[in-house]
């Protein structure tokens, strides 16, 4: 699997988009990373890129307010702004909702979504809404259960089963990961390989 990883070229930041006119179009498949604020989206991207500071990791939640695009060679990752952060104004929340709506409106341009959920907690109502949204728009997704280093293997397994049940997906579609220990990276890369192969068949 490290060989697959070696095939990922150095990832580069492309651009940030604050609204739909700034969303990028690309011939490469776009994989989006979504999840509530502070769940570990930026850390997950840094783990994939094998870089510490490609995507900004913040101690303070709710910092990523833009769609940030990263070029991974064969595909593009889009880091979406986190949802469900309590301490923002209603207007700000609406702005985020609209941004996500606009982003998924052109759903054919989105090859896959990594929906991040904290492995330690039951999915929040925002998490569930996000996944319902993905089902509704028929956007294929994989759940990334983050911060697995915080739980024992037995607890992780229990949580993965729980998340799969709540999201009505298979246990294989929930990958326990840790940006600290790089647990799960091999499975994520395998998943990306599959997504890219599917894209080639469609083309």
Ligand X SMILES: Nc1nc2c(ncn2[C@@H]2O[C@H](COP(=O)(O)OP(=O)(O)OP(=O)(O)O)[C@@H](O)[C@H]2O)c(=O)[nH]1
Shortest Å, Cβ 70 to ligand X? 13
Q: At how many degrees (to 10) do helices 125-136 and 153-167 cross?
A: 50
Site string for ligand X, 30-69 (x = CB under 6 A): -----x-xxxxxxx-------------xxx-xxxx-----
Report residue 63 as tokens. 């910092």
Site string for ligand X, 141-180 (x = CB under 6 A): -----xx-xx---------------------------xxx
What are the counts of helices (DSSP H) followed by strands (DSSP E) for the chain? Answer: 6, 7
Shortest Å, Cβ 42 to Mg ion? 3
d(CA 56, CA 64): 8
Shortest Å, Cβ 95 to ligand X? 14
Question: Rule CB under 6 A: is residue 199 a binding residue for ligand X?
Answer: no
| CB-nearer residue toward ligand X: 67 or 110 | 67
CB atoms near residue 130 (< 10 Å)? 24
Residue selected from 44, 45, 48, 64 as contacting Mg ion according to rule CB under 5 A = 64
- The residues, ordered by sequence, that sit 6+ positions from 189 with a Cβ below 8 Å of its Cβ are 1, 4, 5, 8, 48
Shortest Å, Cβ 203 to ligand X? 31
46 vs 32, 82, 134, 166, 184, CA distance in Å?
Answer: 14, 16, 24, 28, 14
In sequence order, what E strands does 110-194 have?
Answer: 110-118, 141-146, 174-176
**Contact of 65 with 146, CB cutoff 8 Å:** no
User: Which residues in the 23-62 window bind Mg ion by CB under 5 A?
Assistant: 41-42
Residues that bind Mg ion (CB under 5 A): 41-42, 64
User: Binding residues for ligand X, per CB under 6 A?
Assistant: 35, 37-43, 57-59, 61-64, 82, 146-147, 149-150, 178-180
């Amino acid at each position: 699997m490290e060989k697959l990883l070696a095939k990922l070229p150095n990832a580069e930041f492309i651009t940030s988009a604050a609204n739909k006119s700034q969303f990028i179009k690309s011939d490469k498949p776009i994989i989006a990373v979504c999840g509530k604020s502070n769940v570990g989206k930026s850390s997950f991207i840094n783990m994939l890129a094998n870089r510490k500071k490609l995507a900004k990791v913040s101690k303070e939640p709710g910092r990523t307010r833009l769609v940030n695009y990263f070029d991974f060679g064969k595909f593009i990752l889009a880091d979406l702004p986190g949802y469900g952060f309590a301490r923002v104004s209603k207007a700000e929340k609406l702005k985020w909702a609209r941004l996500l709506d606009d982003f998924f409106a052109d759903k054919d341009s989105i090859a896959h979504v990594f929906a991040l959920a904290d492995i330690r907690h039951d999915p929040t109502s925002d998490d569930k809404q996000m996944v319902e949204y993905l089902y509704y728009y028929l956007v294929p997704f994989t759940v990334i259960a983050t911060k697995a280093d915080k739980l024992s293997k037995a607890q992780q397994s229990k949580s993965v089963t729980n998340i799969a049940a709540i999201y009505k997906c298979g246990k294989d579609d929930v990958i326990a990961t840790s940006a600290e220990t790089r647990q799960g990276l091999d499975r994520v890369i395998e998943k990306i390989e599959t997504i890219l192969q599917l894209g080639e068949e469609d083309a």
